[in-house]
Amino acid sequence: MARVLVAMSGGVDSSVAAALLRAQGHDVTGVTLKLWGGAQDSGCCAVSDVEDARRVAAQLDIPHYVFNFSDDFTRNVVEPYVDAHARGATPNPCVACNRTMKWGRLLERTRQLGFDRLATGHHARLVTTPHGARLARSADAAKDQSYVLALLDASQLADTMLPLGDLTKTEVRAHAAQLDLRTATKPESMDVCFITKGGRQTFLDTRVPRAPGRIVTAGGVDVGAHDGIDRFTIGQRRGVGVALGERRYVIDVDAATSTVTVGERRELMRDRVQLDDVVLLDKPTNEQPLTAQLSAHGVPVACTFRAHDRVVHFRAPQPRVAPGQVVALYDGDVVVGGGIASPTG
């Protein structure tokens, strides 16, 4: 049996993860991360979430601690999020948090304290291969979270446990109810934890200097004005602020000139995307059939990947992936790796 540190957010998933590991005979300790001290109405930093985690730990008769990583969170997640929007990119803060906080600072602390493994309540599986532990899709396709973990490396996966990988969400809630855990019927938190619901633009308005600019067509025709590129993302159709008689999508954002380009859907389509910050667990051949997931809830699309120039080639054209978004690569259900969509395309 192992000494396991379980990241407990105060939700049902991490509660059941801790309960399952405890029932399996592991030496389990729960920890809740204090990451954000500003306004919020969701996430794992609210006082009520910490209290829920503490009381579940008490019910399971396991120790529980709170680690304050707020300075690291601001530096590694919040500030890069704001900077990315100022550059016209569309970041994924949950991926950044997983990499730098849970499997960064927390995994580092896990090892320092002498624990054997770090466990979370993510819906994803760990599978054993001849090359070590690999990440795979959850048994519950509707709740699969392998996408937001796709940039973890082999050493991080080697020290990880994901107890919920073979369970559906319905089974998780049923198990929590059977144990009479206070989180059994607690609603899921789906929003960015450091931004209040509906408050994304207000959050950015106080942090990104206003840089008014123009909205143009792909042919260079001026069709409108805007007061900041952080209000736009590639692929956006609603709220663009121009009326041209037919649907227009944001197809490009140029931070240097503060120019937003709009076009028809056909102008949005691409047959490839180049990746930055690539993580590869098993290097695929140039022609190896893979699938790519382009958003947290996106439908996987057929592709190949060329490691030498970090380019994903789609079998059929796809809407342009916004710079800053994660592209996760799979061989079947197993994650091969992934990267972040480059501004260069």
Catalytic option among 44, 45, 94, 193: 193
| Residue 232 region by backbone torsions, left for phi larger than 0, else alpha for psi between -120 and 50, else beta | beta
Sheet containing 213-217, strands listed edge to edge, beginning at the edge strand earlier in sequence = 222-226, 213-217, 259-263, 249-254
266-284 per-residue burial string, b: 16 or more CB within 10 A, e: under 16: ebbebebbbbeebbbbbeb
The angle subtended at Cα 197 by Cα 44 and Cα 260, nearest 5°, is 120
Q: What does the alpha-carbon distance between residue 282 and residue 71 come to, in Å, rounded to a whole number? A: 34
| Residue 180 region by backbone torsions, left for phi larger than 0, else alpha for psi between -120 and 50, else beta | left
Q: What does the alpha-carbon distance between residue 270 and residue 317 come to, in Å, rounded to a whole number? A: 5
Closest by CA to 185, choosing from 173, 175, 197, 198, is 173
Helix (H) or strand (E) holding 262: strand 259-263
DSSP state letter for 27: E
97 is catalytic: yes
Catalytic option among 44, 45, 97, 303: 97
Q: Three-state SS for 33?
A: strand
State both tokens at 343: 């501004």
Quickly count: other Cβ atoms within 10 Å of residue 51's Cβ.
13
193 is catalytic: yes
CB 94 within 8 A of CB 136: no
| Catalytic residue list | 97, 193
